[in-house]
């Protein structure tokens, strides 16, 4: 019985472990049925059998036994005398099975079959790869750096599939070495010519979202929901979260005790600053939170045009804008409002005088005591009541009265 061992002869069959066996068997059968049709114009009376354990392939020619002078179709019928040469117990009307030697097809036909099989299996592997990674879009995977180019890095997954991490999807401070394991999110699967390419990203907001899911069980359990993430990779990110359980503080849960949960994510993102804020439908409060760490004093909103005019103390403006304007840019993306930041009008609060300037009228030891309780300037002392100053400093009533008299006279003169 002639056979051909496909595990040895068709290496693609052996290597295509990602393709399920029934599909492979079907492909193999189709390839050889095609070869039969080319030779005999039909495969109707042929059975192609593949052993899924050994990879052996056998082809049988199946014909009906008829009288020697009744043969009308040699492909479908065989004479009784020829059949009985093989098995003398056979009779007219029975089926006669004869093994087909694959080498009878000729070397060229077998080589063509191998090439066709290789092409079909390669196509199947592509389809399996596309399906696998299309279903994993948005998931974090780990790949090993295999090759580095100027515009992208090639990584290999655990099955040896090629993954691409473009330069534009790398954090600006990312630096990788060959053989290093890199975590990234599956961004998309695209075709380059006829080949599927799996594109990864470390800058996409989904990467941060999945990192938070991994670190914060409450997010995975659905108790905390991430409403929106905006990022300037490597610089800053703002994450708006909401809790579905009144007993859970979403910000505290995401940050963790002493920052235990967020620190690992910050390290993964190359020290990217991450602001976790409570989501709210109150736009004024959301704007205020989105400009963290700056503090605002007042705002005017144009809800129709989604425009916010925000005022704050001069020392808070730079915090609101942030390095290279990143903080205010992210706040705008998070809230959907165009934000203009203004310094507060010059007020009396800006005309303040350090207490040391009054050392010729106030004893230095009194100034030192006042500074120890946080009163560094004239106006900071005048802002407190006599009772509050006495309680904090343990100074005598008369001393407090003298200090206030000196300071009041100075600021009255300024006015």
In three-state secondary structure terms, 17 is coil
- C-alpha distances (whole Å) from 65 to each of 40, 74, 172 are 19, 11, 77
The answer as to whether 357 is a domain residue is: yes
Q: Does residue 169 share a domain with residue 81? A: no
Q: Please state, in angstroms and rounded to a whole number, the distance separating the CA atoms of residues 408 and 344.
A: 24
Q: Does residue 124 share a domain with residue 57? A: yes
Q: Does residue 126 share a domain with residue 12? A: yes
The answer as to whether 273 is a domain residue is: no
Q: Does residue 118 share a domain with residue 194? A: no
- Report yes or no: 129 and 198 within 8 Å, Cβ to Cβ: yes
Q: Does residue 340 share a domain with residue 358? A: no
CATH number for the domain spanning 45: value is 3.30.1480.10
pLDDT band at 5 (very low <50, low <70, confident <90, very high): very low
How much of the chain, in percent, has pLDDT values that exceed 90? 44
What is the per-residue pLDDT across 225-258, written as a single tens digit (0 to 9) for each? 999 999 999 999 999 999 998 899 999 999 999 8
pLDDT at 20: 65
The answer as to whether 118 is a domain residue is: yes
In three-state secondary structure terms, 302 is strand
What is the per-residue pLDDT across 169-221, written as a single tens digit (0 to 9) for each? 999 999 999 999 999 999 999 888 888 899 999 999 999 999 999 999 999 99
pLDDT at 350: 52
Among 201, 232, 251, where does a domain finish? 201
- C-alpha distances (whole Å) from 251 to each of 113, 224, 349, 377 are 63, 9, 34, 36
pLDDT at 55: 61
CB atoms within 10 A of CB 244: 12
pLDDT band at 152 (very low <50, low <70, confident <90, very high): very high
> In terms of DSSP bridges, do strands 181-192 and 236-243 run parallel, antiparallel, or are they unpaired?
unpaired
The answer as to whether 260 is a domain residue is: no
CATH number for the domain spanning 292: value is 3.30.300.20
- C-alpha distances (whole Å) from 278 to each of 53, 238, 251 are 59, 11, 6
What is the per-residue pLDDT across 293-316, written as a single tens digit (0 to 9) for each? 888 888 899 999 999 999 988 888
pLDDT at 8: 46
What is the per-residue pLDDT across 31-45, written as a single tens digit (0 to 9) for each? 788 888 888 888 888
Tell which residue, 347, 334, 342, 283, has the closest CA to residue 310.
342
The answer as to whether 401 is a domain residue is: yes
Q: Please state, in angstroms and rounded to a whole number, the distance separating the CA atoms of residues 7 and 30.
A: 17
CATH number for the domain spanning 403: value is 1.10.150
Q: Does residue 90 share a domain with residue 12? A: yes
Q: Does residue 97 share a domain with residue 170? A: no
Q: Please state, in angstroms and rounded to a whole number, the distance separating the CA atoms of residues 59 and 97.
A: 10
Q: Does residue 167 share a domain with residue 77? A: no
Sheet arrangement for strand 224-232: 224-232, 236-243, 273-278
pLDDT at 181: 95
What is the per-residue pLDDT across 57-110, written as a single tens digit (0 to 9) for each? 788 888 888 898 888 888 888 888 888 888 888 888 888 888 887 777 777 777
Total domains present in the chain: 4
Cis peptide leading into 145, omega within 30 of 0? no
Q: Does residue 329 share a domain with residue 305? A: yes
Tell me the DSSP string of 366-380.
Answer: HHHHHHHTT--BHHH
pLDDT at 413: 54
Q: Does residue 170 share a domain with residue 74? A: no
The answer as to whether 238 is a domain residue is: no
Tell which residue, 376, 263, 264, 279, has the closest CA to residue 336.
279
Q: Please state, in angstroms and rounded to a whole number, the distance separating the CA atoms of residues 342 and 307.
A: 13
Q: Does residue 386 share a domain with residue 301? A: no
What's the rounded mean pLDDT across residues 392-411? Answer: 87
pLDDT band at 415 (very low <50, low <70, confident <90, very high): very low
- Across 135-162, b (16+ Cβ under 10 Å) vs e yields eeeeebbebbbeeeeeebbebebeeebb
What is the per-residue pLDDT across 98-148, written as a single tens digit (0 to 9) for each? 888 777 777 777 777 777 777 777 777 888 888 889 999 999 999 999 999
pLDDT at 18: 58
pLDDT at 160: 87
pLDDT at 358: 84
**Host domain of residue 82:** 4-130
Does the structure show a pLDDT above 90 at 351? no
The answer as to whether 263 is a domain residue is: no
- Report yes or no: 158 and 165 within 8 Å, Cβ to Cβ: no
């Amino acid at each position: 019985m002639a056979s051909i061992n496909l595990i040895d002869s068709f290496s693609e069959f052996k290597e295509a472990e990602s393709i399920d066996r029934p599909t492979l068997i079907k492909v193999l059968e189709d390839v050889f049925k095609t070869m039969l049709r080319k030779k005999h114009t039909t495969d109707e009376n042929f059975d192609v059998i593949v052993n899924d354990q050994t990879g052996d392939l056998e082809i049988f020619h199946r014909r009906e036994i008829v009288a020697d002078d009744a043969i009308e179709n040699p492909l479908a019928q065989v004479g009784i005398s020829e059949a009985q040469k093989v098995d003398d117990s056979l009779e007219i009307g029975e089926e006669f099975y004869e093994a087909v030697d694959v080498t009878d097809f000729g070397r060229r036909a077998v080589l063509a079959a191998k090439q066709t099989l290789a092409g079909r299996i390669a196509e199947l592997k592509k389809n399996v790869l596309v399906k696998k990674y299309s279903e994993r879009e948005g998931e974090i995977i780990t790949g090993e750096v295999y090759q580095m180019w100027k515009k992208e890095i090639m990584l290999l997954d655990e099955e040896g599939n090629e993954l691409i991490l473009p330069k534009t999807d790398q954090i600006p401070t990312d630096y990788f070495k060959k053989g290093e394991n890199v975590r990234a999110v599956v961004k998309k699967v695209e075709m380059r010519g006829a080949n599927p390419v799996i594109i990864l990203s470390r800058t996409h907001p989904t990467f941060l979202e999945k990192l938070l899911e991994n670190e914060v069980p409450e997010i995975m359990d659905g108790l905390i929901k991430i409403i929106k993430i905006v990022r300037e990779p490597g610089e800053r990110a703002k994450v708006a979260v909401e809790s579905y359980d009144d007993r859970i503080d979403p910000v505290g849960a995401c940050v963790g005790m002493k920052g235990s949960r967020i620190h690992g994510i910050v390290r993964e993102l190359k020290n990217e600053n991450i602001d976790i804020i409570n989501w709210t439908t109150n736009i004024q409060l959301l704007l205020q939170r989105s400009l963290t760490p700056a503090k605002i004093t007042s705002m005017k909103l144009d809800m129709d045009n989604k425009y916010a005019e925000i005022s704050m103390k001069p020392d808070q403006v730079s915090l609101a804008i942030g390095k290279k304007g990143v903080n205010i840019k992210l706040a705008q993306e998070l809230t959907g409002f165009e934000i203009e930041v203004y310094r507060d009008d010059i007020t009396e609060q800006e005309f303040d005088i350090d207490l040391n300037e009054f050392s010729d009228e106030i004893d230095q030891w009194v100034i030192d005591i006042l500074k120890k309780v946080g009163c560094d300037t004239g106006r900071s002392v005048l802002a407190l009541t006599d009772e509050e100053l006495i309680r904090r400093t343990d100074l005598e009533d008369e001393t407090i009265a003298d200090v206030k008299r000196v300071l009041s006279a100075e600021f009255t003169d300024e006015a």
